[in-house]
Amino acid sequence: MNNDSRSFLSVGAFIFGVIALVFGSYAIANSAGDAHSLSTTSTAAVVDITLSEFKMTPEMVTVPPGDVTVRVTNGGTIAHSLTFVERNVATRDLQPGESQTITLKNVEAGDMTFICTIPGHADSGMKGMLMAVNGAPAAGSADAATPTTMSYQQMDQAMTDAALAFVNDPKGTFGGTPLEPIIKADGTKEFDLTAKIVDWEVSPGKIVKAWTYNGMVPGPEMRVDVGDKVEIVLTNELPESTSLHLHGIRVPNAMDGVDPYTQDPILPGATFTYAFTALEPAVGMYHSHHDAQTQVPNGMAGAFLIGDMPIPAVLAAKGITQVDKLVNMVLNDAGTIGLTLNGKSFPATEAYTMKVGQTMEVNYFNEGLMSHPMHLHQPTGWIIAKDGVPLIDPMPADTVVVAPGERYTVLYHFVDPGVWAWHCHILNHAEGPNGMFGMVTAVIVS
């Protein structure tokens, strides 16, 4: 991403949103037993979740911060389980008719994802979200509207404060910066990556243990041309083994990065070199393929680009003839990183600056556990490629639904000045009773 995308324009009284609801990820407790023998204190919130083929009921639950008791019942006809991803608190595999109670201790305001970890079940729809919100009822609520005890004056002030923080406060370190290769004697482009755990600021004051490539989330952007010889040298400084998969990139099977099929796992302290030739254009991503449910949501993913995406000639009539800025946007929703755009939650997200008449090319990469409909308020986007493959005809869309593992390339041509919100349109991924949080940023057009 260009350095000018890191600058901000003065936007005066721009009212945009409020500081992110903080995701809790501290003390955990797991208590087994039948739901009918439940014993809790009067201050703990109580939630009932039923598992079946293939859904969680309810999918969205609202509770107040504090201790949360979750009573889980398998109402289906096959085994299911429930895991809170950010806490690693889980039931056992429950057989039809079985129940188990689990407890989440000291839940802070924010969101937590829950899924069934039996292979294939989460992808079939068995996932949901627990939202801890000040003022929510202790009995838990599955209502679409989240109650709040704030006055409208307090809410308005909180939104104003966060809006000004988004625009005026210094930003932290951003990930996804281009990684320059080492050019070897035979012309091979060598990229050096180190997998390691670092402290990463997701939102103001929220520091998490991120699993990273080169200490950043997302990992550094790697870019080559068609025909280049490529080597990616990965050194593992994690406390467990890892491997690296080039998703959407044509490589020999031995370089596919899926242990134990194509290679041995890269042990802690070891190094492995992925060597291949860039045979065709691609908008790909790289990520761990070892304990992926932990390593990828915790931050181990990045963009790998081969060549340039052509601009469809038909878009010249729309004023789109060149790309003035390229933005890679990695979506996440789980792990220590949580609901983020490029590893950051609003108001710590990056603001993008453009001028009227300019065009931004955006590559969306979904490295999360659920689909995200990405919506830029202005202008209409033109989808020009799916998973790195150019479309025969570009397709207009103001909301682009990106499923896990998918990539979409979209052109946005700016014709009106102003501050234009840009966010996931699953509303509880972007806005709560206190305003904007999570998967929100903006494009400032002058």
CATH of the domain at 72: 2.60.40.420
Q: Are 192 and 219 in contact (CB under 8 A)?
A: no
Q: Do residue 228 and residue 316 come from a single domain?
A: no
Q: Do residue 229 and residue 254 come from a single domain?
A: yes
Assess if residue 148 is contained within a domain: no
Q: Do residue 205 and residue 299 come from a single domain?
A: yes
pLDDT value of position 283: 98
Q: Do residue 231 and residue 320 come from a single domain?
A: no
**From CA 289, how far away is CA 269, in angstroms rounded?**
17
Assess if residue 47 is contained within a domain: yes
**From CA 223, how far away is CA 287, in angstroms rounded?**
15
Assess if residue 97 is contained within a domain: yes
* Final residue in a domain of this structure, among 132, 167, 196: 132
Assess if residue 107 is contained within a domain: yes
Q: Do residue 264 and residue 295 come from a single domain?
A: yes
pLDDT value of position 25: 33
Q: Do residue 60 and residue 76 come from a single domain?
A: yes
pLDDT value of position 42: 38
pLDDT value of position 138: 62
pLDDT value of position 22: 30
Q: Do residue 107 and residue 228 come from a single domain?
A: no
pLDDT value of position 14: 35
Q: Do residue 352 and residue 405 come from a single domain?
A: yes
pLDDT tens for the chain, 446 residues long, are 443 433 333 333 333 333 333 323 323 333 333 333 333 333 578 889 999 988 888 888 888 889 999 999 999 888 999 999 888 899 999 998 899 999 999 988 888 889 999 988 887 778 888 888 776 666 554 444 444 556 888 888 888 888 888 888 888 899 999 999 999 999 999 999 999 999 999 998 889 999 999 999 999 999 999 999 999 999 999 999 999 999 999 999 999 999 999 999 999 999 999 999 999 999 999 999 999 989 999 999 999 999 999 999 999 999 999 999 999 999 999 889 999 999 999 999 999 999 999 999 999 999 998 899 999 998 899 999 999 999 999 999 999 999 999 999 999 999 999 999 999 999 889 987 777 889 999 999 99
Q: Do residue 227 and residue 270 come from a single domain?
A: yes
* Final residue in a domain of this structure, among 255, 279, 306: 306
Q: Do residue 110 and residue 210 come from a single domain?
A: no
Q: How many domains does the chain have?
A: 3
Is the pTM above the cut of 0.75? no
Assess if residue 112 is contained within a domain: yes
pLDDT value of position 2: 42
* Final residue in a domain of this structure, among 250, 276, 306: 306
Q: Do residue 239 and residue 274 come from a single domain?
A: yes
Q: Are 11 and 165 in contact (CB under 8 A)?
A: no
**From CA 174, how far away is CA 248, in angstroms rounded?**
24
- Residue 407: domain span: 3-18+311-445
pLDDT value of position 139: 56
**From CA 68, how far away is CA 91, in angstroms rounded?**
15
The pair of structure tokens assigned to 204 is 């103001």
Assess if residue 159 is contained within a domain: no
Q: Do residue 294 and residue 329 come from a single domain?
A: no
Assess if residue 150 is contained within a domain: no
Cβ within 8 Å of residue 181, ≥6 positions away: 189, 190, 191, 222, 224
Assess if residue 140 is contained within a domain: no
Cα angle vertex 247, ends 243, 250, to 5°? 105
